[in-house]
Amino acid sequence: MQDRLGQESAIEIIDFRPRFAKYFRDLNYAWLERYFEIEPYDRIVLGDPQNQIIRHGGCVMFARIQGEVVGTCALLKHTEKKYELAKMAVDESSRGRGVGRKLIEASVQRARSLGAENLVLATSRVLEAANRLYLSCGFDYVDPSVIGPLPYRRETIVMARSLQPPG
């Protein structure tokens, strides 16, 4: 099945493999350096996703097009029922091809399969395109207390999406 841009069938979502750790780090460093700065917490999480994310019940996923890693994201476990969509980055040359949307959809499915009822994320007002994407995928702005204390100096806003069936 293809999306409105005819790209979906070409985007493959795969789980973390140690050999892909460099893509998790490098893709995230690229956007952090463009919009913000790399903070100590970023270095810790991006430098050791197995121990910082996966070992604690989260996961890291990658998007590939024709075998090339072009995007990534993580699900951080907060509680049995709440996960955080984090560290989502798409290679600049692959933006506008549905990669981010595909990563979000895969994250929603994975969070549901893990028993999550809520998915939260921290973003910034300067990331206008990303925020429009989050809104179009069912996220909405919420009070920052929903996510808890954040380890960043950069200004953040919080969004959330319920994963419970309507009704």
pLDDT tens per residue across span 123-145: 999 999 999 999 999 999 999 99
| CB-count burial class (<10 Å; 0-12, 13-18, 19+) for 98 | buried
In a domain, 91, yes or no: yes
Q: Please tell me which residue, 151 or 87, carries the higher pLDDT value.
A: 87
In a domain, 27, yes or no: yes
Q: Is residue 36 part of a domain?
A: yes
Euclidean distance between CA atoms 69 and 44, whole angstroms: 22
Mean pLDDT of 61-89: 97
Structure tokens at 125: 């007002």
Q: What is the pLDDT of residue 149?
A: 84
Q: Assess whether pLDDT exceeds 50 at residue 100.
A: yes
CATH number of the CATH domain containing 21 = 3.40.630.30
Specify the pLDDT at position 7.
Answer: 46
Q: For residue 30, tell me if it sits in a domain.
A: yes
| Position 88 in a domain | yes
Provide the domain limits for residue 67: 8-117
Q: pTM for this one?
A: 0.91
The pair of three-digit structure tokens given for residue 153, joined into one six-digit string: 């100096």
| 102 within domain boundaries | yes
Least confident of 12-26, 59-73, 107-121, 137-151: 137-151
| Number of structural domains the chain divides into | 1
Residue 18 within any structural domain of the chain: yes
Residue 158 lies in a domain: no
